């Protein structure tokens, strides 16, 4: 006990009760901390520029695109060439015939297939046209049989690129 409490007992006063001591030592209420919201930093958009291929190869040597096709013998400086540029190919591989090559670095190809019609138990001929990128090293001409492969969209209508020119003037779409 404290000396004051002892003195209080002697003089006939009562010592303060423990309940009063607790009230006196009561802690003040702590308000919850409000944290400031930190918004994530958004980096400025980078300019999209084609970079050089990371694999070193001999000058004029064609890059391996991962598909079993014969690479072109000519070279080109086209950025959107799967062999000499940085264009990656993925997805569908389609055998087609070139209908027209009048556009610059572009061509229109035609794919013909047969579809079975169950009602008549016969096949119907279906044709699809694709606008494709025609790299200068391949330079497919009208009537050539080509292989095209899917790639990222190069323009509004071009999402395929010619990866092989099998040559031969095939007469596509002619009637009897």
Q: CA torsion, points 98, 168, 90, 51, in degrees to nearest 10?
A: -90
How far apart, in whole angstroms, are the C-alpha atoms of residue 128 and residue 165? 19
Per-residue pLDDT of the chain (176 residues; tens, 9 = 90+): 555 555 555 555 566 555 555 555 666 677 767 666 667 666 666 666 666 555 555 666 778 888 888 888 888 898 999 998 899 999 999 999 999 999 999 999 999 999 999 999 999 999 999 999 999 999 899 999 999 999 999 999 999 999 999 987 655 544 33
pLDDT at residue 92, rounded to an integer: 93
| pTM of the shown model | 0.62
C-alpha neighbours within 13 Å on the C-beta side of residue 58: 3
> Which residues touch 31 (CB under 8 Å, ≥6 apart)?
none
pLDDT at residue 66, rounded to an integer: 85
Two tokens, residue 142: 């009208």
Rg (CA), the chain: 40
pLDDT at residue 10, rounded to an integer: 55
107, 86 contact by CB (below 8 A): no
Which residue reads 């690129």 in tokens?
161
pLDDT at residue 105, rounded to an integer: 92
Q: What angle do CA 39, 42, 43 make, to 5 degrees?
A: 150
CATH 3.40.1390.30 fits 89-169, yes or no: no
DSSP H helical ranges for 11-68: 18-24
Structural domain spans, the chain: 89-169
């Amino acid at each position: 006990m404290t000396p004051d409490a002892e003195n209080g007992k002697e003089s006939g006063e009562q010592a303060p009760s423990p309940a009063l001591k607790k009230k006196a030592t009561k802690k003040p209420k702590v308000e919850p901390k409000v944290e400031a919201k930190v918004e994530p930093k958004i980096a400025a958009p980078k300019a999209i520029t084609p970079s050089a291929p990371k694999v070193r190869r001999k000058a004029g040597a064609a890059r391996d695109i991962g598909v079993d096709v014969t690479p072109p013998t000519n070279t080109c400086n086209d950025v959107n060439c799967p062999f000499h540029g940085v264009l990656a190919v993925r997805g569908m591989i389609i055998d087609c015939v070139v209908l027209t090559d009048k556009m610059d670095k572009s061509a229109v190809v035609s794919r013909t297939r047969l579809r079975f019609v169950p009602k008549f138990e016969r096949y119907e001929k279906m044709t699809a046209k694709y606008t494709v990128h025609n790299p200068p090293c391949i330079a497919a001409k009208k009537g050539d049989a080509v292989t095209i492969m899917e790639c990222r969209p190069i323009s509004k209508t071009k999402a395929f690129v010619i990866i092989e020119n099998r040559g031969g003037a095939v007469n596509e779409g002619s009637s009897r």
